[in-house]
Structure 1
Amino acid sequence: MGANVIQQRRIGLYALLTADVFSAFGSRFSVVAIPWLVLISTGSPAKMGLVAAAEMIPYLMTSVLAAPIADRFGMRRTSIACDLSSAATMALVAAMPSFGFWQLCLLIAVSGGMRGVGDRVKHVLLRPVTAESGIPMIRVTSAYEAMNRTAGLIGAPLAGILVATLGARHTIWLDAGTFAIAALLVWALVRPKPEEVEVAPVKEPYFQALRGGFAFLRTDKLLLGMISTLFLINFFQQAASTVLLPLWVQDVFGSPTRLGIILGVFAAGSLAGNVVFTIFATKLPQMLSFFIGAAIGGAPRILVLGLSDSLIVVLLVTFFAGFGMASVNPIVGAVLYERIPVELQTRVFGVVAAVAVSGIPIGSALAGVAAAGIGLRPTILIGSLVLLTLTLIPLLRYRRSSEPSVKEPLPTTGDPA
């Protein structure tokens, strides 16, 4: 097959990944610009929290509840419609300074809900465009993870600079523009074969379709185990990042600058790990890599806070934890594509995302209560040892005989990228 033909077949994949990066940048812009807009408009930290909740709660709900509707409407059309809706709501926020607080919350809720659906359908579209490209799915999911981590690493600081130089409203205009560009890319360049996106029209009633996603996930013990691991990691790592680590930095150094350094080193380790994993992904046993990555990336970065006050030691452990964690999400993505039938992917992906992410708010709340009740160091040690135990158990029980069922998620054609 000629090089030009191969490149033509990969345009859709490159466009979809680029669209997702633009959408990710837009999300980071809004995370910084909108709370800042609320703060300068109202002077209320409580309202900043409310507007953040107004975006996240609909995001989680629509990830699950809107999946059957997306199946009926079509993946590509849903992606375009959701990004255009997000662009329109952000443009309204930027253009209408007279909006009251509750009207702003309503617009943000609409945008968050649209993003929840849009993110899920983009994940579903990734499978057919990857199949056309001839690139192994595990490499694509690893590259996808790296690009999103890069957007997270760059997007938030860039948003801070933009807010400081251009102002919050102009930054929100840029936010709207990123969603519009994402919609344009999908409309113009992402055109997978129809039979690969929608095998058959979905005619079942809404609630029956919704139950189908939960029912399928309950029957797959491997996926349940992986999603449970993600829930635990999100639970403990969010507790560490938002509560335990800031308290530790304040206790040891009394300066927030170290907090930014530690978080940046974890992100740098994750990016380095994604690059390495993308190169060697097809040569590594997937489930063993997942278990090792979860064990390395989860507990050690929390445990070291309870064992050492040395910044150098903490940075080294944090970097390697990020490096190890880089294999976790790409493998989950590849296994999801391999094990879930095409016609169920939208709903099951939504359930998976909601379950995995639900550990985030719970972890922060419980960590704050525990640190206030029993103290910071005991909370760090107990939490990290619990997580270490829970991630080591499946690693110790691992048997290579189970590997062939998930070793190569998708058959591929052509040469890998």
Structure 2
Amino acid sequence: MGPRGRFVALFVADVVSVLGTRVSMLAIPWLVLVTTGSPAKMGLVAGAEMLPYVVSGVLAAPLADRFGIRRTTIVTDAGSALAMAGIAAVPTLGFGALLLLVAVAGAMRGLGDRVKHVMLRPLAEEAGIKVIRVTAAYEGFSRTAMLVGSAVGGLFIAWFGPLGAIWVDAASFALCALVVATLVRLPAEAIPKQAPETRESYVVALRGGFRILWNDSLLPSMIVMLFALNMFNQASIAVFIPVWVEEVVHTPEALGLLLGTFAAGAVLGSIVFTAIAPKLPMYQTFMLGALLAGAPRLLILGLTHELALVCTVAFLSGLAMSAVNPVIGAMLYERVPPELQTRAFGVCTAITFTGIPIGGVLGGLAVAGFGLNTAILVAGTLCLVATAAPWLWSRSRRPAAAPKPAAIVGEAQ
């Protein structure tokens, strides 16, 4: 198989993994609901998956570098398949055992997603594809997979029951492991070697992921920006929009319409951005996209009760959001030495994803304490300040050149 074939194989495996994860995000909580009738236990299951997902991407990254990123991809996909199969094969598992298997699957996915991202860069370069196009296309396909996965997950639950849907999820991870094992090989120059006696200790390797990001002139501000966006967006999705729909529109279908228009804008934007991305200044594009993707979507909820206008702004915010994740992904590829990318991606994901649970909690507390409209307007104003200030400041700065790769450490395969 040629370079483009290997790249496409990995790309497809990654998107299939996202699709399978989306199915399990519906099927496992639904399984808990129909077997226990407890919404609280549903929340515990979601937390049991998310926390290991975030933590493993950081703590296990140095081990992945040493073990080899290709081998790590295969092992984590196979481990995810076994964990899902365990849940599906033993429906009489106690709740504690279920939490354990879900946590194992979350840890596998956290590390597996990070190493797949790292593998995309050398395969794209070998195939002669610009990295910014890869990250933009990946964002579009991932969002499409999330949309399709939600619908497909609901159909699978209706057709096969929650256990059947989980079996499908297990099969998707097994397929990913098989595709990478048989069709994907990294270029020889992307497999750095290091003598065992010169290998870094685990602590030194772990610290390297934080150091390379902290010392960069641009990446820290972008990571903080993405943390803020995740926090405010989660408050909007989990609290503000559902309560607004219930209190203002009184139509449950409006909830799906609002979330769907934002996602549709993000998918369409990803298609357009893939075509024009190489011509755009990346840092400024990221900052402008963040500015337009967060605050307008929040503020419109507090300023009008017109559903059509709110949906229009949500769609435009989705278009703007399509530029955010691809740019930071491309800049991580360009500004972080290849041998440190697994760790850097893990640290970046851990920090930015932390905004998700914080946003949900703060959004609920804000509505309870100040009322819906005040909470939305305050959140929208804070989001505007958080996203506008770095943009205005950065206009007076010229982005620094990407640092030269450091000495090679670890081993990747």
TM-score of the aligned structures, taking structure 1 as reference length = 0.94
Deviation of residue 151 (structure 1)? 0.7
Instruction: Tell me the residue number matched to 2:230.
Output: 234
| Structure 1, 376-385 or 387-396: larger mean CA deviation | 387-396
Conserved 8 A contact 1:29-1:159: yes
Instruction: Tell me the residue number matched to 2:182.
Output: 188
| Structure 1, 352-361 or 39-48: larger mean CA deviation | 39-48
Conserved 8 A contact 1:213-1:347: yes
Instruction: Tell me the residue number matched to 2:260.
Output: 264
Alignment of 1:30 onto 2:24: yes
Equivalent position to 2:305, from 295, 309, 312:
309
Conserved 8 A contact 2:77-2:108: yes
Q: Which amino acid aligns with 1:135?
A: I
CA distance in 2, matches of 1:292, 1:212: 30
Instruction: Tell me the residue number matched to 2:59.
Output: 65
Instruction: Tell me the residue number matched to 1:102.
Output: 96
Instruction: Tell me the residue number matched to 1:344.
Output: 340
Deviation of residue 403 (structure 1)? 4.6
**Secondary structure of 2:251's match?**
coil
Instruction: Tell me the residue number matched to 1:399.
Output: 395
Instruction: Tell me the residue number matched to 2:279.
Output: 283
CA distance in 2, matches of 1:405, 1:331: 15
Structure 1 residues 298-342: Cα deviation after superposition (integer angstroms, max 9, x where no partner): 111111000010011001100000001100100000000001011
Deviation of residue 348 (structure 1)? 1.1
Deviation of residue 265 (structure 1)? 0.3
CA distance in 1, matches of 2:400, 2:358: 35
Equivalent position to 2:35, from 37, 41, 48:
41
CA distance in 1, matches of 2:401, 2:384: 27
**Secondary structure of 1:402's match?**
coil
Deviation of residue 199 (structure 1)? 5.1
Conserved 8 A contact 1:293-1:327: yes
Conserved 8 A contact 2:62-2:205: yes
Structure 1 residues 34-77: Cα deviation after superposition (integer angstroms, max 9, x where no partner): 01111111111111111111111111110100001101110000
**Secondary structure of 1:255's match?**
coil
CA distance in 2, matches of 1:321, 1:221: 27
Q: Which amino acid aligns with 1:250?
A: E
RMSD, aligned α-carbons: 1.5
**Secondary structure of 1:405's match?**
coil
Q: Which amino acid aligns with 1:111?
A: A
Deviation of residue 201 (structure 1)? 6.0
Instruction: Tell me the residue number matched to 1:146.
Output: 140
Q: Which amino acid aligns with 1:380?
A: I
Deviation of residue 279 (structure 1)? 0.5
Equivalent position to 1:388, from 384, 397, 405:
384
Conserved 8 A contact 1:35-1:51: yes
Instruction: Tell me the residue number matched to 1:295.
Output: 291
Alignment of 1:76 onto 2:91: no
**Secondary structure of 1:358's match?**
helix
Deviation of residue 195 (structure 1)? 2.9
Deviation of residue 397 (structure 1)? 2.6
Conserved 8 A contact 2:300-2:313: yes
> CA 1:262 to 1:346, structure 2 compared with 1: closer, same or farther past 3 Å?
same
Deviation of residue 230 (structure 1)? 0.1
Deviation of residue 124 (structure 1)? 0.8
| Structure 1, 278-287 or 353-362: larger mean CA deviation | 278-287
Deviation of residue 287 (structure 1)? 1.5
| Structure 1, 188-197 or 265-274: larger mean CA deviation | 188-197
Instruction: Tell me the residue number matched to 1:11.
Output: 5
Equivalent position to 2:352, from 331, 353, 356:
356
Instruction: Tell me the residue number matched to 1:20.
Output: 14
Conserved 8 A contact 1:198-1:342: no
Q: Which amino acid aligns with 1:388?
A: L
Instruction: Tell me the residue number matched to 1:55.
Output: 49
**Secondary structure of 1:32's match?**
helix
| Structure 1, 281-290 or 15-24: larger mean CA deviation | 281-290
Deviation of residue 107 (structure 1)? 0.7
Deviation of residue 405 (structure 1)? 2.9
Instruction: Tell me the residue number matched to 2:365.
Output: 369
Deviation of residue 8 (structure 1)? 2.1
Equivalent position to 1:174, from 158, 168, 185:
168
Q: Which amino acid aligns with 1:159?
A: G
CA distance in 1, matches of 2:157, 2:36: 17
> CA 1:35 to 1:261, structure 2 compared with 1: closer, same or farther past 3 Å?
same
Q: Which amino acid aligns with 2:225?
A: T
Give unpaired runs (5+ residues) of structure 2.
403-413
**Aligned pair count?**
401
